Structure 1
Amino acid sequence: MEQTDITISFRLMIREDLYVQVFYGEKSNNLYMALIEGRRRIYGVDREGNEWRLHPFEKADCHEPLTQGLEPKPLLTFLARIEELLVKNDLI
C-alpha cells in the first residue's frame, strides 16, 4: 500500500500474476479499480469526479459509461464483481 495525505493506492494479490489494483485521489475524487492479469488490465471501473466508466472484461481498453455507478460502497461492489468474474471465468 502507498499513501500520501491525499491519495491511497494498493494491490490485493489473488495469485502471483493476478491482482486488484486500486487508486483513490481525495482531492480529485478520482477512483480507479482494475483487475490485472500479468501486466494487462482485464476488467476495471473508474470514477473521475462524478462520472463512472466501465472497462468490460477482456475488452478493458474500451470505455463504457456506467450511469448507475457503484455507490454507495464502490470498493465492496467492485470486489463482489471481481469475485463473480474469477469464478465464472475459472481464474482461481
Structure 2
Amino acid sequence: MRHPADPPLCFEFRRPHAGIPLNILGNLLFLGVVCTARTLVLWNWSVARSSAAFAGMFVNLEPLVGTVLGVMILHERLGPFTWVGGGSSWGPRR
C-alpha cells in the first residue's frame, strides 16, 4: 500500500480509479498507443513518397471527413458548437 506522501503513480493496476474496469483501461491504452502510432507511421510514409505541400493539402480535410463520416455512419447530430468551430476554421482568411 502506498503512503499518502508518495508521489502519485501514472498507472495503478491494482484498483482503477473512479471505478473504471481494467479491460476499459486496456482498450484506451490500445487506442491511444497503437492506433495513434499506426496513423503517424502511415502519414509519414505518405509524406516520404510525395511532397510535403501535396500531403499538407489533406491536413485541412481530416476534420471535414471525420465530421461527414460521423454523421453518415454513426448518425451523429451537429450541434451549434460544431458549426461555430467549423465556421471558424473554414471561414474567410485575411
Q: What TM-score results when the alignment is normalised by the length of structure 2?
A: 0.25
Higher relative contact order (CA 8 A, sep 6+): 1
Q: Which has the higher helix share?
A: 2
Q: Which has the higher strand share?
A: 1
Q: Which has the larger radius of gyration?
A: 2
